[in-house]
Structure 1
Amino acid sequence: MYNKSVVILANQVGPPVRGVQCFGRDQFIDLVWEKLSLGHVLLTAPRRFGKTSIMYKLVDEPRWEYQALIADLEYLREPADLITLFTELLMRNPVTSRCLKGVSFLSGRLWSRFRESVEEVELHKLRFKLRDELRPHWRESGDELFDRLAGCGHTIVFLLDEFPMMIDGMTRRDGGVEDARAVLRWLRAVRQRPECQNIRFLIGGSVGIGAILRKLGEVSSINDFESLKLEPFSRPTALRFLAGLAEGQQTDLSLACQRKMLDLVGLPIPYFLQVLFSEVRKVHLQAGTAITTRLIERVYHERLLGVECKTYFDHYYGRIRDYYARDLERAIKRMLREVAVMTEVSREAFYQIYRKEAGASATAEQFNDVAAELENDFYVRPSTDGKHYTFACKILRDWWLRYYGMEYGD
């Protein structure tokens, strides 16, 4: 039966959500706008926490007539790609496009084609053409863009998703390390220009940016950003979220069943709750059985932690291989296996595992950096006194034990 006190939610597992579907984040969005009114924001959270949905909420419901422009930077691999993207974003916004008319690197014909093109194939060709033209003088062209924006009479907010992956991707190309450093330094110079005080940047990503910047020696390049961390739901919010999913799918889900789901998942992360709800509902519909706490427990162990749902979690294991050197990869996998098996590991034991796997040259400072990255990327969390580590989330620990509890990262 329809309950007017419950928000009706679609169970969209995976893709970003918009509108009322971006549930339970109103206070956080208020905080983001408050910080953007004052400066630049670094939005941190692991993958599937809802960062992109937050960004879309800022675009869909802008405040104070700010012009919010969103872009995914994951596949950009050189500085000219970034300037091309900035140009396209500005050209396709009716307010900012007027500021770009007459820029030296954008002919009248190209300017018109960018504004009028709706076919993705045509846009792809335009991007390639502009990028090739910008490549020899991307800094100068970028400076010209922001010169125009400085006098446009509006506050422009660039919402740049997967910024760390862009920087990391640049470093993996031949000559890309210097490109990455150049982009970081140029963006900082833009932000520091007195005439660009109407420009705001919000950057976010599912990969921790700290390790990437330390490797480049560029930690100071983003020290003018204020960090905001997107946390899991509170338990009351998570219960309302599950009630909304049940209402939206016309599914009977008792309060006892909702609580059971929260107990199984651990920290109430929306994505994991959606996956569990989806799997429970599939069994409910296919078998024609009522949803009970016993059914939820069985689905959790047999399906959610089973092979058919393994792809929902593989990122957490695979990214260690993708973003850490081989010696660090072995050390981190061994550390995580140990904390999964033992439930809780002392900081000293964590350090000794790291030293054994990373080699005799491993230092306490390097360990501190690795431990901080594992915290930022939502693998582990320290105890309140900082002397022990546990897995950050029960469901992730259960999954790790299921698939990697017997190996040491080989």
Structure 2
Amino acid sequence: MAFSINPGGQVSPEETLGRDELITELWGILSAQSIYMNDLRRIGKTQIMKKMNAQPRAGWASVYRDVSSCTTAAEFATLAYRLSAEMLSGTQRNLRRMGNLLGKMAGAEIAGILKLPDGSAVPWKEVLSRTFADIDEAMVARGDEAKMVFFWDEIPYLIGKIAKNDSPAVAMDVLDVLRALGQDHDRVRLFLSGSIGLHHVLHSLRQNGYNGSPLNRMAKAQPGPLAAPESETLARGLMEGSGRKFEDVDACVTALTSAVGHVPFYIHKLVSRLPKDQSLTPQLIESTLDREIRSDQNDWDLQHYRNRIDRYYEGSQKIVLAILDTVAVGQPMNLAAILKDLASQMDADQERVRRLLKLLCLDHYLMRDEANRYRFYLDIIRRWWRLERDL
């Protein structure tokens, strides 16, 4: 089967390969509880959510939205109401409680915020509470098994923006309200996702007195890269669909998918950069990737992994960089080996290193294997890191 190359663009649900088993599992989880999905950017989280939204299971209503564009709690609540109203617009049910609140101006929206008949803004908590109650009622009317799920992408960015533009206290309230509404309305589920771990946002909020645990009743999901057979199907379809020539197609497919860690975005990207006027070999594929990620002008979105350290590891940049440098060269490494290497460079407190290693795993820079050894989560990130850091 031939596929179109589209690195970073919209991929149709039909071309979102290798995720069907995971999606079936996620729908099963949603029948009982909400989900928070976190993984590296470009791993395919958004495509999973969009495929689930485009192909919902029987009995499910759904809406998808990247919520990072919302800057305040009021904008977010208005978006939730508007999406719900649009979803129910073709049915006999409407948002009764919200309609009663808004009166004759039902749905009046100015600068992204709902307004009451007197022109004042509708309190965001009231909007969310009534919207969830209305959806719950509408799903009950549809039948015993009917439920609705909100697919909300980039939720950590949303909470961070609310903390900045409203206040940390309002951001805390949003998290607690969503948690409570998810518990109170059994016909409504939340499927939240983000590339930046919510733990960073929660850490900042806890410095302002937040003690909540907004995710403790949600299932956690980490999709990871594709399995090798599915990534090879994708790579083969992209290379054959683009008319590339091969000396040994199987060897080329294996070399390409292994080099980019079986990540769909990187598979699309590397295939798009392969020469069309040469017969491809594993060696040519490797050299093309090396040239691409070595370039200071590369558009592989890899610099992100260096830049975010300054933001999310403020005060610990030096030791974090040293840890990543050490593991990039010597992986897999256990804690003792890492500490030994760091000791030759700086004073490194063991407990501090433990905490930072845990954070680096939560942020998917590193992973820990069954033998308690650390390695890079994706080898393409390790490969780029070594080039970037002259290791």
* TM-score category (smaller protein): 0.7 to 0.9
Equivalences for 1:168-207 in 2 at 5 Å? 168-173=160-165, 176-193=167-184, 196-207=185-196
Out of 215, 221, 233, the residue aligned to residue 228 of structure 1 is 221
Match of 1:379 in 2: 365
> For structure 2, which runs of at least 5 residues remain unmatched after alignment?
141-145
Match of 1:34 in 2: 28
Provide Cα deviations, 1:302-322, integer angstroms capped at 9, x if missing partner: 224323325531122222223
1:221 match: secondary structure: coil
Q: Which amino acid aligns with 2:149?
A: V
Q: In 2 relative to 1, CA 34–178 (structure 1 residues): closer, same or farther, beyond 3 Å?
A: same
Contact 1:47-1:206 at 8 Å conserved across structures:
yes
Contact 2:74-2:113 at 8 Å conserved across structures:
no
1:309 match: secondary structure: coil
2:53 match: secondary structure: helix
Out of 140, 156, 175, the residue aligned to residue 164 of structure 1 is 156
Q: Matches of 2:336 and 2:159 in 1, distance apart?
A: 33
Answering whether residue 243 of structure 2 is matched by residue 257 of structure 1, we say no
Answering whether residue 318 of structure 2 is matched by residue 318 of structure 1, we say no
Out of 370, 377, 384, the residue aligned to residue 399 of structure 1 is 384
Match of 2:286 in 1: 297
1:250 Cα shift?
3.0
Provide Cα deviations, 1:61-93, integer angstroms capped at 9, x if missing partner: 111231111111213232212211101111222
1:390 match: secondary structure: strand
Match of 1:345 in 2: 333
Q: In 2 relative to 1, CA 209–62 (structure 1 residues): closer, same or farther, beyond 3 Å?
A: same
1:22 Cα shift?
0.6
Q: Which amino acid aligns with 1:22?
A: T
Residue identity (%): 24
Match of 2:129 in 1: 143
Provide Cα deviations, 1:94-116, integer angstroms capped at 9, x if missing partner: 257942255244344453x77xx
1:389 Cα shift?
1.5
> For structure 1, which runs of at least 5 residues remain unmatched after alignment?
1-6, 115-124
Contact 1:279-1:304 at 8 Å conserved across structures:
no
Provide Cα deviations, 1:142-179, integer angstroms capped at 9, x if missing partner: 21222222211241101110111212233334x62111
Q: In 2 relative to 1, CA 261–392 (structure 1 residues): closer, same or farther, beyond 3 Å?
A: same
Q: Which amino acid aligns with 2:374?
A: Y
Q: In 2 relative to 1, CA 150–96 (structure 1 residues): closer, same or farther, beyond 3 Å?
A: farther
Say how many residue pairs are matched. Answer: 376
Q: Matches of 1:105 and 1:227 in 2, distance apart?
A: 35
Q: Matches of 1:201 and 1:95 in 2, distance apart?
A: 22
1:355 Cα shift?
9.7
Q: Matches of 1:76 and 1:357 in 2, distance apart?
A: 44
1:151 match: secondary structure: helix
Q: In 2 relative to 1, CA 191–363 (structure 1 residues): closer, same or farther, beyond 3 Å?
A: farther
Provide Cα deviations, 1:114-156, integer angstroms capped at 9, x if missing partner: 7xxxxxxxxxx55246499675622123212222222112411
Q: In 2 relative to 1, CA 235–141 (structure 1 residues): closer, same or farther, beyond 3 Å?
A: closer
1:356 Cα shift?
10
Q: Matches of 1:12 and 1:133 in 2, distance apart?
A: 46
Q: Matches of 2:370 and 2:273 in 1, distance apart?
A: 34
Match of 1:155 in 2: 147
Q: Matches of 1:137 and 1:129 in 2, distance apart?
A: 9
User: Which is richer in helix?
Assistant: 1
1:201 match: secondary structure: strand
Contact 1:257-1:292 at 8 Å conserved across structures:
yes
Q: Matches of 2:305 and 2:16 in 1, distance apart?
A: 24
Match of 2:143 in 1: none
Q: In 2 relative to 1, CA 305–273 (structure 1 residues): closer, same or farther, beyond 3 Å?
A: farther
Contact 2:39-2:224 at 8 Å conserved across structures:
yes
Provide Cα deviations, 1:183-242, integer angstroms capped at 9, x if missing partner: 11111111221xx11010110111112232244344622100011210211222221111
Provide Cα deviations, 1:322-347, integer angstroms capped at 9, x if missing partner: 3332x123332222122223334331
Q: Which amino acid aligns with 2:29?
A: K
Out of 315, 320, 324, the residue aligned to residue 336 of structure 1 is 324
Contact 2:376-2:382 at 8 Å conserved across structures:
yes
1:92 match: secondary structure: helix
Q: Which amino acid aligns with 1:297?
A: E
Q: Matches of 2:58 and 2:67 in 1, distance apart?
A: 26
Q: Which amino acid aligns with 2:316?
A: L
Greater than 6 Å deviation, 4+ residue runs: 131-134, 352-360
1:368 Cα shift?
4.2
Q: Matches of 1:85 and 1:358 in 2, distance apart?
A: 49
1:404 Cα shift?
2.0
1:25 Cα shift?
0.7
More displaced 10-residue stretch of structure 1: 327-336 or 128-137: 128-137
RMSD between aligned residues: 2.9
Q: In 2 relative to 1, CA 403–98 (structure 1 residues): closer, same or farther, beyond 3 Å?
A: same
Out of 99, 106, 109, the residue aligned to residue 102 of structure 2 is 106
Q: Matches of 2:44 and 2:368 in 1, distance apart?
A: 23
1:13 Cα shift?
0.5
